[in-house]
Structure formats: structure tokens, C-alpha cells
Structure 1
């Protein structure tokens, strides 16, 4: 009787295979989330400070611009630092363009809530809480999904830079 050959080790479970396959994307998404979380706090604080002295549209534009500039620095030098660089001007102009689109998404959601729904139910939708939920939660969530895709696809789209070769001894 011949011995039975050893069976191959079992394949990892599907979730583990997916994590291994998408590890780099998950890592980028995590970094993007940290940078975005910091930008979110900046945006939230500035937006609410400005709501006391100006209208919702002006507050939105100013707070988003300040937060997006900080996020550009974090994304360029941390989230996608391993990507090959194109010119700073090209990256910032594309980044700015996609932030304007993201701002349009947030403003659209806030306008729909504050002005459209607020015209019907002003006591519900024309409040500071409703404006914060519309812009800071719903609008930013939709805009963030768009921005992650756009930044990764168009702004920081260079191939990951090759790791330096190990030093030769000898």
C-alpha cells in the first residue's frame, strides 16, 4: 500500500482572500479616512462659526475651501505618498476642480434640504441641526465617495513608486 500524499493546506476563507487582494486599497482608504476626518472637524468648526455671521452658502464655501486645502496636503504627502509625482500645479488644479464638484454635491444636498424641503417644512429643515445633517453628514458622505474615486483615478494616479533596492554588500 503506497502512502497517501499530503493534502494541500486549506485555502484561506473568502474574507481573508479579499482582504489580501485589496490590502493596498483598504490601506489607502483608511489613510484617506483619517485625513478626511481631520478635514471634517475643520470644516464643521468653521462652518458653524460662520453660520452665526453669514449665510449657509458663504459658510459652506469658506469652510470647505479651508478644509480641502489641509486635506490636499495630507493626501499628497501621506495617503498617496508612495505614488509617482506629477507637477504640484497639475495635482492641485485637478484636486481643486474635484473639490469644487464635491462642494457642488454638498451644496446641492444642503440646498435641497434647506430651501426645497424647508419651504414646505421650515421648522424641520431650516434649522442649524438640519443644515449640519444635510451638509456635514449626507452631503459630505456622498462627496467623499466621489472625491476618493476622483483623487485616486485622476489626481494621484501615478504608479506606486518602486521601493529602493536593498544595498549590495560585498
Structure 2
């Protein structure tokens, strides 16, 4: 029995190429989130004098909101949005875990290592942000923003034609409203 190209598993290099655009977009949204996170948390820290972990959590929450918009409407805009409630719930759960990872490093450096001051604060926040970002990337792409199922190459033309008719009908219904 010969293997056809439709049944052959893509090589590691092909899979990495396929994910590289996603990684770049994820990184851009993430960099915007980092700027928001560090900007807000440092502003709150210096303006209020509150505890470093509290300020860091506030910055992280604002960045999570900004990142959701970027991920949903740019990075993963083609993902299945059939269950938005499920998506948001999972996003918040995994973002919360990422926030614990990130702010756990701030807590550890501040209260266990007794490292204080702006440099120690931002260094611990940077380490935590890196660890939290790795966790978020894999959890978002695996469980939150699932790709829409593709029609297999071997699907019958009748199935494809029916799917196209449904899309046209949906678009015309939207145009009427």
C-alpha cells in the first residue's frame, strides 16, 4: 500500500513553518501587552506606593484585557468562535494561571529574597512575564482559540458546494439586517 500525500504527516520543519506566522503575531500582541503591563504597574506603583504585587496584578489585568482583543481579532481571528462564552472562560482561566506565574516571581523576589526597588521589581516582573507568556502561548493555541476544522481534501464536491451555499445564504441574511 502506498502512502498518498493526503495521509502523510507533515515534517517538523513544515509544522514549525506553519506556526511561525502565529508566533510572530502572538509576539507582537504580547509586546504591546508587556508595554501596557509594565506601564500601568509602574505608574500605579510610583503614584500610589501600594505593595509591588498589587501593582503588578493591576498592570497584568489591564494587559490581559488588551491582549484578548489582539488575540481574538488578529492572531486567532480565524478560530472557531461558535462558543464565545467557552473561549472567554478558558482565556480568563489560563490568563489567571499566567498571572499567578508572573506575579509569583514578583512576590518571591520581594518577600522571600527581599529584593526591593525599581530594578528588582522590573527584573522579577520580566522573568515572570516570560514564564507566563510561554504558558499562555501553548494554552491559548491548544485550548482557547481552537482552529476551525478544515474540510478534508477528499471531501466530495457536493459537500463543498453545500457548505458554499450555506455561507452565501448566511452572508445574504447578514446583508438584510
CA–CA separation in structure 2 for the residues paired with 1:114 and 1:86: 43
Please give the secondary structure, in 2, of the residue aligned with 1:158: coil
1:80 maps to what in 2?
76
Report 1:33-44 matches (<5 A). 33-44=27-38
2:131 maps to what in 1?
142
Please give the secondary structure, in 2, of the residue aligned with 1:85: coil
Larger radius of gyration, structure 1 or 2? 1
CA–CA separation in structure 2 for the residues paired with 1:71 and 1:47: 16
**Cα gap change, 1:61 to 1:161, in 2 (>3 Å):** farther
Contact 1:83 1:161 in 2 (8 A): no
**Which sections of structure 2, spanning at least 5 residues, go unmatched?**
1-10, 152-162, 165-177
1:50 maps to what in 2?
44
**Cα gap change, 1:21 to 1:89, in 2 (>3 Å):** closer
Structure 1 residue 20, shift from structure 2 partner: 3.8
Contact 1:106 1:143 in 2 (8 A): yes
Contact 2:78 2:147 in 1 (8 A): no
Q: Does 1:127 align with 2:123?
A: no
Q: How many residues align?
A: 141
Contact 2:64 2:95 in 1 (8 A): yes
CA–CA separation in structure 2 for the residues paired with 1:77 and 1:108: 29
1:101 maps to what in 2?
97
**Which sections of structure 1, spanning at least 5 residues, go unmatched?**
1-16, 119-124, 166-170
* 1:136-164 Cα deviation digits (max 9, x unpaired): x10000000000000011101133567x9
**Cα gap change, 1:89 to 1:33, in 2 (>3 Å):** same
Give TM-score scaled by structure 1 length: 0.76
**Cα gap change, 1:73 to 1:161, in 2 (>3 Å):** farther
Please give the secondary structure, in 2, of the residue aligned with 1:22: helix
**Two-structure CA RMSD over aligned residues (Å):** 1.8
Q: Does 1:151 align with 2:147?
A: no
Structure 1 residue 47, shift from structure 2 partner: 0.6
Give TM-score scaled by structure 2 length: 0.74
